[in-house]
Amino acid sequence: MNEKPSRTLLRTPLYNNHVSLGAKMAPFAGYEMPISYSGIIREHEACRKSAAIFDTCHMGEILVVGRASESALENLLTCDVGSIRDGRCRYGMMCNENGGVLDDLVVYRLEPQKFMLVVNASTRHRDVEWIANHLAADAQTEDISDKTAKLDIQGPASVSLINALLGHHIPPIPFFGFVWCAWRGRRILLSRTGYTGEIGFEVYFFDDPADSVGFWNDALEAGATPAGLGARDTLRLEAGLPLYGHELSETRNARDSGCRMAISLAKPFVGRDAVMAGGKERLVGIILHGRSAARQGDAIISPPSGENIGAVTSGSFAPSLGCAVALGYVRAPDAVVGTTVEIAGTRQRLAGSIVSLPFYRGGTARRNIQTFL
């Protein structure tokens, strides 16, 4: 019997750097990506206390340009696009007609009639097709992912580190704002965004993806700790941030996700009526009474009745808290802070309770950047 050839994994421009640093590599969204270098907990703590650098070149970047670009995106995205000013960006979702989430993304207004969508690697090609099929003649789209590179520098020391790399103090960029800068004479976009709950930046390289290699090396020399997808996941989980394929999917109503700030029901968009009808379940945070972690798909049980009230979508030990935490969907009437629950794992039941998000409240993401200058 002939075996089907395995799918070839893609590699980012930094693949050789990861290997030389001894990173543990694994498949992720079609790419061979670093999971950890020196250990997930150490990398996690470096981001919380100092500065960590992540290779996020696998993410997708899609341009939407033209006279009808704003109205097209207003129709496609759950967030309010018209009020985004030049130099600012916003988190939103793209839904199907049933209110399910095709992708969650960040939309940048680069110019009055030029936008960039930063999308998940696993949904990139579907996103491009979906967007193209919903554009009017006076709006165009271009997938620039393969000629763009992206790195994330996150943590309280990220501001001083970026200043050192650029050779000058960066301006006071607001949260979810961005500026154009020059590094070694090359153009970069410096965005005050991230996925960790800490102050930090996402750095985009448009001139040549290979520029990311030199920037990575400079950042390590300046004191940044290389961090992989393992720490990225524990950091985002502590911050209560959803992950596509876990908390978000095309079969899950966007309104159930709790990301109300990303949904503007005051305007029409694809799937709006179905989204408005959502709310039968809610995404909740669960803090567990120990270090054992829940896993995606584990049942959430109401102890008094033994009734199944929901399911876990993400779970992990939370290094900043010293215990395990989980995200999961439960029936709306049961989504009450303080409610005692049990997680039915494969080998044991884990006791916990529903808490408000985020789990970790010491993050610096929204602090005034002047504090760090």
Same domain, 257 and 284: no
In a domain, 226, yes or no: yes
Are 147 and 131 members of one domain?
A: yes
Shared-domain flag, residues 39 and 166: yes
Asked if 159 and 194 touch (Cβ cutoff 8 Å), the reply is no
> Both 243 and 114 in a single domain?
yes
Are 298 and 323 in the same domain? yes
pLDDT at 345: 83
Q: Which residues pair with 94 in a beta bridge?
A: 77, 103
**pLDDT in the model for residue 7:** 67
Residue 87 sits in a domain whose CATH number is 3.30.1360.120
Residues 6+ apart with CB under 8 A from 207: 186, 187
Which segments of 229-331 are extended strands (E)?
281-288, 299-302, 307-318, 323-331
362: in domain: no
| Count of domains observed in the chain | 2
**Are residues 219 and 336 both part of a single domain?**
no
Residue 49 is assigned to a structural domain of this protein: yes
Residue 33 lies in a domain: yes
In a domain, residue 208? The reply is: yes
Residue 366, in any domain of the structure: no
Question: Of 234, 256, 279, at which residue does a domain stop?
Answer: 279
Whether 319 and 251 share a structural domain: no
What pLDDT score does 307 carry?
A: 96
In Å, what is the CA distance from 129 to each residue of 74, 97, 124, 135, 141? 17, 15, 9, 10, 10
Q: Is residue 22 domain-shared with residue 169, that is, in the same domain? A: yes
What radius of gyration, in Å, describes the C-alpha atoms of the chain? 21
Give yes or no: residues 293 and 232 share one domain: no
Q: Residue 304: its pLDDT value, please?
A: 84
Q: Are residues 102 and 185 in the same domain?
A: yes
- Residue whose tokens read 């930046």: 201
- 213 shares a domain with 155: yes
Tokens of residue 306, six digits? 């033994």
**What is the structure's pLDDT at 358?**
98
Range of the domain at 57: 7-279
- Are 169 and 312 members of one domain? no
Summarised one tens digit per residue, pLDDT across range 77-117 is 999 999 999 999 999 999 999 999 999 999 999 999 999 99
Instruction: Confirm whether 365 is domain-assigned.
Output: no
Mean pLDDT by 10 residues, the chain (373 residues): 60 98 97 98 98 98 98 98 98 98 98 98 98 95 98 98 96 97 96 98 98 98 98 98 97 93 96 96 96 96 94 98 98 97 91 98 96 87
- Domain CATH for 309: 2.40.30.110
| 2 located within any domain | no
